[in-house]
Amino acid sequence: MGVLDSKVPSGPLADKWTKYKNEINLVNPANKRNIDVIVVGTGLAGGSAAATMAELGYNVKTFCYQDSPRRAHSIAAQGGVNAAKNYQGDGDSVYRLFYDTVKGGDYRSREANVHRLAEVSTSIIDQCVAQGVPFAREYGGLLDNRSFGGVLVSRTFYAKGQTGQQLLLGAYAAMNRQIQRGKIKSYTRHEMLDLVLVDGKARGIIARNLVTGEIERHSAHAVVLATGGYGNLFFLSTYCMGANVMAAWKAHKRGAFFANPCFTQIHPTCIPVSGDHQSKLTLMSESLRNDGRIWVPAKKEDAEAIRAGKLKPTELAEEDRDYYLERRYPAFGNLVPRDVASRAAKERCDAGFGVNKTGEAVYLDFDAAIMRYGREKALTSGMKNPDDTTVRKLGEEVVEAKYGNLFQMYEKIVDQNPYKTPMMIYPAVHYTMGGLWVDYNLMTSIPGCYAAGEANFSDHGANRLGASALMQGLADGYFVLPYTIGDYLSDDIRTGPISTDSSEFEDAEKNVRDRIEKLMSAKGEHSVDYYHKKLGKIMWNKCGMARNEKELQEAMNEIAELRKDFWENVKVPGDANAKNQELEKAGRVADFLELGELFAMDAFDRNESCGGHFREEYQTPEGEALRDDKNYTYVSAWEYKGDPRKAKLHKEKLVYENIEVKTRSYK
């Protein structure tokens, strides 16, 4: 290990994936029956990969810490999934999806992987329709589309505001069919605690049964990690509470390079923080930016009056509102990419124009959309000169049909009716573009260990466009990994079953037990959450939407001190050999305390601004990200060397032969 070879096929970009599939080694159906694959994580990437590989004939074991694969965090993705079908006839194409994705990622992603993603995107929709996913349809019966940030076309397929849930149910149904056939063995309430290497190859995992506390050994010829992102490093995020980095971090400590950890996405459309009592944040789908207009008061005194409760937003005249995204980015308006919209909201709030009690919120207003849709509905219903009350009622019905569950969710959380008063939103941690480094095959730097979906770094560069997470997860699971893993497994047709009685499995299990014992034996006075919250505040304040050299150096030192204190003074109650959720959290936070330092070091090392990585020292006079293409057009891949601060940097040079790299503009 140590050499970064992306294994991208030669030849024209549009032909690479086809050429690759034509030339790889295959495993015949009879031999697939003798090969075992472990899939850790059963969200869209893991679930689709497990179902597809089992359908092909491999013996698959799946692991998830939830009580059912249906509980994976993919269920929370609301807005839609991208595909270059061009049903709208608005100029979309595979190339344009490829271009938008590379540009949206601020020219920090691998060309070949992104083009492959765009190519297979169209198959995703066909696959999911065949599974019965109830995508929205337009009047003529074709699947409907809406637009998301960073693009000028409508390519996002959706199922109301429940797209992730419906797609996950499709993958789960496919998994269930294979479970019934005996091709998938499903291990729920299990957490991977270590990766086992035999002769340098990934050959299994050590897992803990979260119900009984039992430590188990599981072997396979290859291991797929599809465990999502590490956004809970910030404590407050839109991730589910259990989301963690453990599986990926254990692979990293076994030799898998961790790439671009500082590339973390801050989503602009989240319900604002309301106090220190919160343990997570809630996302309002980016699809709302199709019709909602984002604004703050144009005058500071109006913002102050709103914060004091003396003025309602509905009482503010149109000319006294600053639709700042439409003002600053007229071509894209409210549909600029997430990193741009998030920084713009922060800038307005930092300048004193925030609208909630904390001063950290802006408005997302549907009034204009309600009236526009209402007038259109009135005309198509044959109404002539309807009054405003009728128009508003009709418009609210249209908006409810498009976004109803999102509006209902907002009202339950905030106790305000978003049909009558603008929503309040503010940026929050939502997605991680960084992850395990993988080559074109989705293999990490450990032979036989693969990473799919958000767990790898490969497709989004420094910023992910909306509706591309579901696209990547399904592309990796249904259409990429089942091909690429066969090329590797073709050398294992005579290997036979992998024994779990080897010294490698014994040593890995001992390491796991020793770590658990160390966590349980610390007789401190502080809870796990005490340390997690402290880490989260360091990360948000010094490694969040804006970073600088001084604070990143401080963050590295503070995290190292916090980690030392954690191992000395954490208190984990209960028994290690039984159900113990505090022990689960302790293991996850221990990993976050190591990843956080590497995250800060990666941000410190990258002396430029790009996408979600915004260094205050590197910005244009207008406050936009200032890239350094001469020195930083590469993937930062870190090799573990015993301590986060000692990690060794490897660079994968990014070469753009099919896109002109230029200043990213949405004006």
Report the C-alpha dihedral over residues 51, 53, 58, 63, rounded to 10 degrees.
-50
Which is catalytic among the residues 70, 338, 563, 588? 338
- The answer on pLDDT for 2 being more than 60 is no
Tell me whether residue 664 is one of the annotated catalytic residues: no
Calpha distance 326→410 (Å, rounded): 24
Sign of CA dihedral 175, 177, 180, 181: negative
Average confidence (pLDDT) over 502-519: 98
Q: What ranges in 132-162 are assigned the alpha helix state H?
A: none
- The answer on pLDDT for 475 being more than 90 is yes
Q: What is the pLDDT of residue 404?
A: 86
Q: What is the pLDDT of residue 462?
A: 97
> Tens digit of pLDDT for each residue in 542-559?
999 999 999 999 999 999
Q: What is the pLDDT of residue 3?
A: 53
CB 73 within 8 A of CB 167: no
Q: Which two tokens stand for residue 367?
A: 């009034």
Is residue 503 very low, low, confident or very high in pLDDT (cuts 50, 70, 90)?
very high
> Tens digit of pLDDT for each residue in 369-379?
999 999 999 99
CB 9 within 8 A of CB 440: yes
- The answer on pLDDT for 274 being more than 90 is no
Q: Which residues contact 314 (CB under 8 A, 6 or more apart)?
A: 367, 420, 421, 422
CB 270 within 8 A of CB 78: no
Q: What is the pLDDT of residue 665?
A: 86
Most confidently modeled range among 271-275, 404-408, 605-609: 605-609
Average confidence (pLDDT) over 475-488: 98
Average confidence (pLDDT) over 416-440: 97
CB 413 within 8 A of CB 383: no
| High-pLDDT (> 70) share of the chain, % | 100
- The answer on pLDDT for 119 being more than 70 is yes
- The answer on pLDDT for 33 being more than 50 is yes
CB 341 within 8 A of CB 325: yes
Give the rounded distance of the alpha carbon of 438 from its chain centre: 16
Residue among 598, 603, 607, 594 nearest 648 (CA) = 598
- The answer on pLDDT for 65 being more than 90 is yes
Q: What is the pLDDT of residue 160?
A: 85
Average confidence (pLDDT) over 215-227: 98
Average confidence (pLDDT) over 467-475: 97
Of the chain, the end-to-end C-alpha distance in Å amounts to 44
Q: What is the pLDDT of residue 4?
A: 84
What is the pTM (predicted TM-score) of this model?
Answer: 0.96
Q: Which two tokens stand for residue 377?
A: 């509905």
Calpha distance 95→84 (Å, rounded): 9
SS3 for 223-277 is EEECCCCCHHHHCCCCCCCCCCCHHHHHHHHCCCCEECCCCEEEEEEECCCCCCC
Mean pLDDT of all residues belonging to the chain: 96
CB 567 within 8 A of CB 561: no
| High-pLDDT (> 90) share of the chain, % | 93
Calpha distance 166→171 (Å, rounded): 9
CA angle 596, 430, 662 (to 5 degrees): 90
Calpha distance 70→370 (Å, rounded): 34
> Tens digit of pLDDT for each residue in 129-149?
999 999 999 988 899 999 998
> Tens digit of pLDDT for each residue in 151-197?
999 999 999 889 999 999 999 999 999 999 999 999 999 999 999 99
Who has greater pLDDT, 664 or 540? 540
| Number of residues in the chain | 667
